[in-house]
Amino acid sequence: MSVDYEIRRFEPAAKDDPAYPQSVAWMRAVAFGFHDARRTDERVDTSIELQRTDRRVMTGVYQTGTVAGHSLGADVPVATFGTMNKTLNIGFGRLLDTRLVTAVTVRTSHRRRGLLRRMMGEDLALAREEGLAMAALTASEASIYGRFGFGVATSEQAVKVDTTARFRLNHLPLGSVEVADPKVLLELAPDVFDRVHRSTPGSIGRHEFYRQFASGSVSRDGGEDPKVKVALHYGPGGDVDGYVSYRFAGWSSTPYTMEVVDLVAATGAAYLELWQYLGAIDLVERITWEEAPVDDPLRWALEDARCVESSAARDMLWLRILDVRQALEARHYPADGQLVLKVADSLGLTGGTFAVEVDGGTAAVTAVGSGAPGIRTPDLRTPDLELDVAALSAMYLGGVNPVTLAASGRIVEHAPGAAFRAARMFAVERTPHCLTHF
Ligand SMILES: CC(C)(COP(=O)(O)OP(=O)(O)OC[C@H]1O[C@@H](n2cnc3c(N)ncnc32)[C@H](O)[C@@H]1OP(=O)(O)O)[C@@H](O)C(=O)NCCC(=O)NCCS
């Protein structure tokens, strides 16, 4: 049976709006796509309310012709695609408005007909028209998004930390830690996170879900999570500059384990002191954290670094430059230099050859031979580096060394030493890490 489709884009409706059922059907389709149990009406209402707070846009693909008898109706989208705009820390405290892509699903009976390609292509073009230079997502599978120009810009790892007598941190506390009612995070979490966001390359501004999640008001499975406990860190001046939200894995966990739900620390001292607190919890011998940084100061602060058992690094934030000139000019560069980059873009959004001249940490980026009035047109030169927009997006935050990308064949280095020059220019002040899953 041949099927025709139409794409609809809409904002989540308020409960008393006649368009509300469209938002409900979309939310249910997303849950179905991720194999979730059927959600209660109350849970769907809560999710839609969160989406409204984040000013998300829901995109759905709908069947326009006859729908198979007894199957889900034409009002239920066969594909979903969610978006919202947040800021991305691009190093040295600079924030760049970014399109976040989420809730990507295609119903199995309609897959591999180009629906994802259509939704992605249209939305990235739309984001660029809106003036955004960057898009971001997190991926369920690593094989899907490279073809659309996304590259892995940050990684994370799961850790299991042995907190028996071996756990000793070489750190003299500067502040203090105290237990609080988890609900205080509804008020405190956004401010603490904002400080982290402004000082962490790779950080994505958080959506409403997080303060609810960290405070145990909402769990990933819906409803309250009464197991969540919270400790706050107070800096030397008495201000709250960090928190950890955690839950006990139960008396059947071996060894007895505490799971970190969210750990946000605005200073190095707050981070170590929250770990000192976790390490001191009686009756517990292990702390686990699914979203630890790959470059973790904890390991270096421990007397016995082998207390930390980590998984392999996993891709976390995928970036996609939508406008090379705008994205490169937005950054600060710790090293001056010049590079000519030939960038391929199969979606045709921002490919071309660009001369990047960094002086005093600021880049002037020119499309080579563009001849546009008021723009300097450099000599047509052989590019120093030739690469796909996915590779440029991956190295944009310094999370992968361009020398490594050249060795992997993802970058062709025409001028010897250019990849190393790019490595110095694109470095950021600390290893990028993203604490926000979306
Ligand atoms: C992943 C998913 C959205 C793909 O949707 P789709 O409509 O079948 O994709 P399209 O038909 O537009 O295919 C686009 C391209 O991606 C490829 N592709 C799609 N899914 C892929 C996968 N899981 N692994 C590898 N390649 C994939 C297709 O082969 C096609 O390649 P081409 O255009 O280069 O020939 C869909 O399979 C799905 O809903 N999966 C379950 C939920 C999920 O994983 N969502 C992603 C959340 S981050």
Ligand 1 atom with the shortest distance to the CA of 105: 39
Q: Which of 270-284, 317-331, 341-355, 361-375 has the lowest mean pLDDT?
A: 361-375
Q: Where are the beta strands (DSSP E) in 330-374?
A: 337-344, 352-359, 362-367
Q: How far is the C-alpha of 327 from the C-alpha of 91, rounded, in Å?
A: 12
Q: How confident is the model at residue 372 (pLDDT cuts 50, 70, 90)?
A: very low
Residue whose tokens read 């292509």: 121
Tell me the CA–centroid distance for residue 104 and ligand 1, in Å: 9
Say what percent of the chain tops pLDDT 70: 97
Q: How confident is the model at residue 221 (pLDDT cuts 50, 70, 90)?
A: confident
Tell me the CA–centroid distance for residue 150 and ligand 1, in Å: 14
Structure confidence by residue, pLDDT tens digits, 183-219:
999 999 999 999 999 999 999 999 999 999 999 999 8
**CA–CA distances in Å: residue 143 to residues 39, 135, 140, 148, 433:** 29, 18, 9, 11, 21
- Does residue 411 have a pLDDT over 70? yes
- Domains in the chain, ordered, with CATH? 5-132 (3.40.630.30), 156-315 (3.40.630.30), 323-426 (3.30.1050.10)
Structure confidence by residue, pLDDT tens digits, 265-286:
999 999 999 999 999 999 999 9
Ligand 1 atom with the shortest distance to the CA of 118: 12
Atom 19 in ligand 1: which residue has the minimum CA distance? 144
Over residues 341-366, the mean pLDDT reads: 97
Ligand 1 atom with the shortest distance to the CA of 138: 48
H runs (alpha helix) in 180-249: 184-199, 209-214
Over residues 213-228, the mean pLDDT reads: 91
Ligand 1 atom with the shortest distance to the CA of 106: 39
Q: How many CB atoms lie within 10 A of CB 165?
A: 8
Structure confidence by residue, pLDDT tens digits, 155-182:
999 999 999 999 999 999 999 999 999 9
Tell me the CA–centroid distance for residue 105 and ligand 1, in Å: 9
Secondary structure (DSSP) of 33-74? HTTPPPPPHHHHHHHHHHHHHTT-EEEEEEE-SPPPTTS--T
Ligand 1 atom with the shortest distance to the CA of 115: 7
Model pTM score: 0.95
> Angle CA(246)–CA(252)–CA(256) in degrees, nearest 5?
50
Tell me the CA–centroid distance for residue 144 and ligand 1, in Å: 6
Ligand 1 atom with the shortest distance to the CA of 117: 12
Tell me the CA–centroid distance for residue 323 and ligand 1, in Å: 24
What pLDDT score was predicted for residue 220?
A: 81
- Does residue 71 have a pLDDT over 80? yes
> Could you tell which of 113, 116, 118, 141 is best to mutate to test the pocket of ligand 1, judged by most ligand atoms within 8 Å of the CB?
116
Q: Which of 111-125, 139-153, 368-382 has the lowest mean pLDDT?
A: 368-382
- Does residue 371 have a pLDDT over 50? no
**CA–CA distances in Å: residue 431 to residues 89, 171, 200, 271, 395:** 12, 22, 8, 16, 12
**CA–CA distances in Å: residue 149 to residues 67, 116, 117, 392, 400:** 34, 14, 12, 9, 16
Q: How confident is the model at residue 223 (pLDDT cuts 50, 70, 90)?
A: confident
Over residues 240-246, the mean pLDDT reads: 98
Q: How far is the C-alpha of 338 from the C-alpha of 356, rounded, in Å?
A: 6
- Does residue 53 have a pLDDT over 80? yes
Structure confidence by residue, pLDDT tens digits, 12-37:
999 999 999 999 999 999 999 999 98
Ligand 1, CB within 6 Å, residue ranges: 33, 104-106, 111-117, 139-141, 143-144, 147
Tell me the CA–centroid distance for residue 397 and ligand 1, in Å: 26
What mean pLDDT, rounded, does the chain reach?
95
**CA 163 to chain centroid:** 29
Bridge pairing between strands 95-106 and 134-137: parallel
Say what percent of the chain tops pLDDT 90: 93
- Does residue 91 have a pLDDT over 90? yes
Tell me the CA–centroid distance for residue 110 and ligand 1, in Å: 11
Tell me the CA–centroid distance for residue 112 and ligand 1, in Å: 7
